[in-house]
């Protein structure tokens, strides 16, 4: 069925404009996520550059989700995957490289402690 009414034709034109705009945003987000992922997977990249690329990708995902280009759960899932890769990278080199340094062992210990604290909070906050 062809769109015959003036309002339907106008909506079709607006849809084409929105699709073009959204395509650019999605493309930018994909590019930034791929760059961040490549920096996290390996290669000679400075730690600050890895963090900056990941942060830039997360911001782009948030922007796209707020504009409605990406669904918020889709953006959250991608951000979680990036964060997971970043955490894996942070813990993996710390063990072999941190043999002589105190920072390697100290960085691993606090990661375990915060997990126990949030479990205790909801029980204390529950009042009848």
Region of residue 45 (left: phi > 0; alpha: psi -120 to 50; beta: else)? beta
Q: What is the pLDDT of residues 77-89, one digit of tens each?
A: 999 999 999 898 8
All domains of the chain in start order, with CATH: 7-92 (1.20.58.110)
Please tell me the total number of residues recorded for the chain in this structure: 128
Average pLDDT, the chain: 79
Q: How far apart are CA 54 and CA 82, in angstroms?
A: 7
Q: What is the pLDDT of residues 44-64, one digit of tens each?
A: 778 889 899 999 999 999 999
> Widest CA span of the chain, in angstroms?
76
pTM equals 0.64
Residue 57 burial by Cβ neighbours in a 10 Å radius (0-12, 13-18, 19+): buried
The tokens of 88 are what?
């894996």
User: How many CB atoms are located within 10 Å of the residue 103 CB?
Assistant: 10
Q: How far apart are CA 26 and CA 5, in angstroms?
A: 31
Is residue 22's pLDDT more than 50?
yes
């Amino acid at each position: 069925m062809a769109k015959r009414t003036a309002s339907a034709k106008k909506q079709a034109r607006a849809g084409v404009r929105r699709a073009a705009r959204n395509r650019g945003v999605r493309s930018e987000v994909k590019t930034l996520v791929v760059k961040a992922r490549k920096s996290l997977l390996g290669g000679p990249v400075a730690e600050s550059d890895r963090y900056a690329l990941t942060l830039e990708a997360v911001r782009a995902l948030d922007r796209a989700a707020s504009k409605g280009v990406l669904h918020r759960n889709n953006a959250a899932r991608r951000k979680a995957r990036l964060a997971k890769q970043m955490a894996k990278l942070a813990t993996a080199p710390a063990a072999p490289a941190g043999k002589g340094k105190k920072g390697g062992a100290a960085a691993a210990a606090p990661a375990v402690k915060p997990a126990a604290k949030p479990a205790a909070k909801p029980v204390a906050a529950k009042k009848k």
